[in-house]
Structure 1
Amino acid sequence: MGSLIGHVAPGFGFILIGLWHMYNHLRLLALKGPSSYKSRLWFPSNQGRLPRRLELYLIITGFTLSVTMELFINPAKHQPLDSDGTIPSDHLHNFEHSPIYLTFIIFALFALILDKWASRPLPAQDDILLILAGFCFAQELLMFHLHSIDHMGVEGQYHWLLQLVVFVSLVTTILGFGRGGAGSFVVAFVRSLSIVFQGVWFVIMGFALWTPGFIAKGCSIHVEDNGHKEIRCEGEESLNRAKALVNILFSWNLILLVVFAASFYMFMMIVFGNRSVKYSVLSLSTNEQEEEDEEEVEDDVEAHKKINNLAGTQGFVDI
């Protein structure tokens, strides 16, 4: 992750997964309604010739490539260890990023296995996946919070705000515990929205921290002895200004994301909301209803006649 591509590539992956989840959550809500809605932690793709478990395949492939880049492609020697078998100091951040990717790979692998065993009566499958998903976000939050690189400056402000978004993903996952899988629509939708926000913020961090043209006024990129690039500001005033710009950028992206979520909700309700009509009982036309009413009236008349005849016959017998 310690580069532009190391932030942008995973960021687009998070955005893609988050948007896919938002689409499916809203589609299920529109088609089934709030009472019959049931969330999922991953969604099969049953459209065209796409593989059913495409989402899981993409997660495994994407994060495997990320681990490969962190441990084998980015290092100058293309291997993670030093000549004496120890971890070089300038590669510690690569090893810190790798467990984040590995936890998501583990989640996708178990989701893949459990889906293949769907015919077997395995109890609490959704709860197990929910625990694994919570483990992924907890690992991500832990590693970003205890990162070995000094994040006290501008870079630290980006990472601190990122931790807030990851914390939302973790909390919304925990809220699903004991609720039959992924929980309610609100919880699942906010979680998918936070995943999108993670991706957006990763992309912004990639460009803002490693592109000289996006560095705040009074600050510049410096290369440390261990090869890590860090943003340093000329003084306290420049540092505070740069942090304030990061906060403003975060706030504006949050506003835009909320507007996008509300607009996407209305769009999905318009597109898929009308399709739910086919599941309701169709009302009879006016002519059909009139014919049915006439038949009911005739039946009532015939029944009344039979009762009268029966009563007359009974009276004759009694006499």
Structure 2
Amino acid sequence: MGTLVGHVAPGFGFFLIGLWHLLNQIKLHAAHPRSYTSPPWFAASRLRYAELFAIMAGCCMSVAMELFVGPSRHQPLDSDWTIPSNHLHNFEHSLISASFFTYAAFAIVLDKTLTGPKTAKTRNGLTQLIGAVAFGQQLLLFRLHSTDHMGVEGQYHLLLQAVIVVSIATTLLGIAFPRSFLISFVRSVSILFQGVWLVIMGFMLWTPSLLPKRCFLNLEEGHDVVRCHSDEALHRAKSLVNIGFSWFLILITAFSVGLYLALVKIYGDTAEYQSLTKTAGLDEEEEEEEDGGESDDVESQKKIKFGETKSFIHVGNSKNFAALDIER
């Protein structure tokens, strides 16, 4: 980070993961509204761990860029093997990438180790917890960043931290409420928003023609920082950042809800239906365990009086029907 590419590249990664989750969450909920349970990640059709492998590959590239490719000597340490001041932010950024690499790696390990329906809740919960730790690490390092974030760049990072807080909160809530579509929906949108905002930061902070009036790029400690000629120019620049964030918040909200409406129209027709001819045995017990003791199928929960079965028609048993006078 600290450059245009350093923000745009990871931002594009967050955007793709957020969009991937958003599409799959909506599709899953539209097709299975009654049995919907949000997974922490989504398996691809051809390569099951494609999402997790992509996260791991992106994190490895990020660490390599921060610690070995970016520094002029292609290693971040000083001659006495200490960390120089101008490379502190490189280590901080690489730790964020390492946290998400840990999440993806353990997601694969947990999926291979904890198999079977009885361990699904524990597996998904632990994966969500590690994801929340990764977001927490991201928030902590951005909050306590060694780089001076008091100016325009600081305003961008402050608003980014607000989005990260939403990602942390919804990830933790997803552990307790895995069947809540709204929690999963907001989490996916927040990840997508992180990506969009990082891309915007990259272009707006390191493209001279896009800088606010009376602001300029100044080389400090090995990387360019936005500075303004006066306090008035700085306050104006921060206000422009707030306005831009508000515009993108509206646009992403409209995009997400519009995408939901479009996908529900496409996949909603394939929504699952439960037969009312279930026997009063194993199927009802499985429903109670899955739904927390209460079935979502309202019709199947109705009690049939006088020993009637749950099927629509019980062939061959005329006692279940009142006599009908056809002529009348």
TM bucket normalised to smaller: 0.7 to 0.9
Paired amino acid for 1:93: H
TM-score, normalized by length of structure 2?
A: 0.82
The reply to whether residue 39 of structure 1 matches residue 38 of structure 2 is: yes
Q: Distance in 1 between matches of 2:49 and 2:172?
A: 24
Aligned to 2:301: none
Deviation at 1:178, TM superposition (A): 3.1
Say if 1:280 and 1:176 are closer, same or farther in 2 by CA, change over 3 A: closer
Aligned to 1:169: 167
CA RMSD of aligned residues (A): 2.1
Q: Distance in 1 between matches of 2:80 and 2:250?
A: 50
Aligned to 2:11: 11
In structure 1, the residue corresponding to 2:176 is in which secondary structure? coil
Q: Distance in 1 between matches of 2:115 and 2:126?
A: 17
Alignment of structure 1 residues 1-319 onto 2, 5 Å: 1-33=1-33, 35-46=34-45, 50-119=46-115, 122=119, 124-179=122-177, 182=178, 184-224=180-220, 226-276=221-271, 279=273
Aligned to 2:302: none
Tell me if the contact between 2:3 and 2:223 (Cα under 8 Å) persists in the aligned partners: no
* Structure 1 unmatched ranges of 5 or more: 283-291, 305-319
Q: Deviations over 1:201-235 (max 9, x none)?
A: 000000111110110011111112x2121111111
Paired amino acid for 1:265: Y
In structure 1, the residue corresponding to 2:131 is in which secondary structure? helix
Q: Deviations over 1:25-58 (max 9, x none)?
A: 101111111x311001100012xxx311100100
Give 1 or 2: higher helix fraction: 1
Tell me if the contact between 1:27 and 1:268 (Cα under 8 Å) persists in the aligned partners: yes
Tell me if the contact between 1:177 and 1:183 (Cα under 8 Å) persists in the aligned partners: no
Deviation at 1:177, TM superposition (A): 3.3
Deviation at 1:154, TM superposition (A): 0.5
Paired amino acid for 1:72: F
Q: Distance in 1 between matches of 2:106 and 2:161?
A: 26
Tell me if the contact between 1:137 and 1:166 (Cα under 8 Å) persists in the aligned partners: yes
Q: Distance in 2 between matches of 1:229 and 1:59?
A: 28
In structure 2, the residue corresponding to 1:124 is in which secondary structure? helix
In structure 2, the residue corresponding to 1:232 is in which secondary structure? strand
Q: Deviations over 1:131-169 (max 9, x none)?
A: 101101100000000001111111110010000000110
In structure 2, the residue corresponding to 1:175 is in which secondary structure? helix
Aligned to 1:316: none
**Pairs aligned (count):** 282
Deviation at 1:281, TM superposition (A): 5.7
Paired amino acid for 2:42: F
Tell me if the contact between 1:70 and 1:95 (Cα under 8 Å) persists in the aligned partners: yes
Q: Which structure has the greater CA radius of gyration?
A: 1
